[in-house]
Structure 1
Amino acid sequence: MDIVINPLAVALAALSTFVIGGLWYSLLFGKRWQRAAGVTGETLRTGSPRVVIGSFAPALVMAASLAAFIGSGGALLGTAAGLAVGVTWISAAFGTNYLFERRPLILFVINASYNIVAFTIMGAIIGTMQG
């Protein structure tokens, strides 16, 4: 089996997580997320370049892994695979951790739903460009 990975698709998919995250954690759910996570605006301003640069590497790893999984399956498979990964692997893992850490349900909902949307969009981008 040949593994198909389009580097441009991976880069765009990784970048899409920043666009989605920017909207998710500011305009859409910013205040509720800050309260639930126990962070302040001041905390978020500290070390922002390090956080943004540091989070791009994992975004690339996630996108590359998803690209290898999707292969040349096309947009529909890519979208479905991204949705499945977000719902089953990522959200289920978060859910277990959040239960043991006694984190608020709203924090789980905000973070899990971000990942569901982000992985679905990443899958759609990758599937479209590799298919």
Structure 2
Amino acid sequence: MNPELINWPAVVVAALSAFMLGGVWYARGVFGNAWMAANNLTDEEIAKGNKGKIFGLTGVFSLLMSANLAIFLATPATTVAWGAQAGFLAGIWTFSAIAIHSLFELKSWKLIFINGGYSVVSLIIMGTILGAWR
């Protein structure tokens, strides 16, 4: 890992891509309704959430994920293909962690695949951006 090879603007854009994907992924017409049902959440309960805290911390954690992936990709040999592959591998890792926690929380496989799928896809996109923007 060579820290000089980290493209920090790419890290920010990759983090924003995960944030934007979440807006689409969890939209009602995509997986939002199924996600709410699997969590037994109502519109009223969702409305009670502290949006500043939720979105602010989501942005911070997306940035941490992107920076972490960028550190692993900070080599001269990194390409778009390797970035996407590394993102996929990191996504499998996070999918597995989500599955483990969810199984102990007695969550459904539907919820595991919704949340874990988001993680895999978002990390593939992040890795692709980081690999392309060298």
Q: TM-score, normalised by structure 2?
A: 0.90
Q: Which residue of 2 aligns with 1:2?
A: 2
Question: Equivalent of 1:33, from 27, 32, 35?
Answer: 35
Unaligned runs of at least 5 residues, structure 2:
none
CA distance in structure 1 between the aligned counterparts of 2:52 and 2:112, rounded to whole angstroms:
25
Q: TM-score, normalised by structure 1?
A: 0.92
CA distance in structure 2 between the aligned counterparts of 1:5 and 1:100, rounded to whole angstroms:
37
Q: Which residue of 1 aligns with 2:55?
A: 52
Q: Which residue of 1 aligns with 2:98?
A: 94
Runs ≥4 in structure 1, deviation > 3 angstroms? none
The percentage of counterpart residues that share the same residue type is: 35
Deviations 1:4-28, CA, capped at 9 Å, x for gaps: 2111101001101111101110131
Letter paired with 1:19: M
CA distance in structure 1 between the aligned counterparts of 2:129 and 2:44, rounded to whole angstroms:
34
Size of the aligned set, in residue pairs, is 129
Q: Which residue of 2 aligns with 1:14?
A: 15
Question: Equivalent of 1:74, from 79, 83, 105?
Answer: 79
Structure (1 or 2) with the greater helix fraction: 1
In the TM superposition, residue 42 of structure 1 has moved relative to its aligned partner by 2.4
The SS at the match of 1:29 is helix
CA distance in structure 1 between the aligned counterparts of 2:98 and 2:69, rounded to whole angstroms:
18
Give the stretch that moved more between structures: 95-104 or 107-116: 95-104
Contact 2:11 2:130 in 1 (8 A): yes
CA distance in structure 2 between the aligned counterparts of 1:18 and 1:95, rounded to whole angstroms:
21
Measured on the aligned residues, the alpha-carbon RMSD in Å equals: 1.2
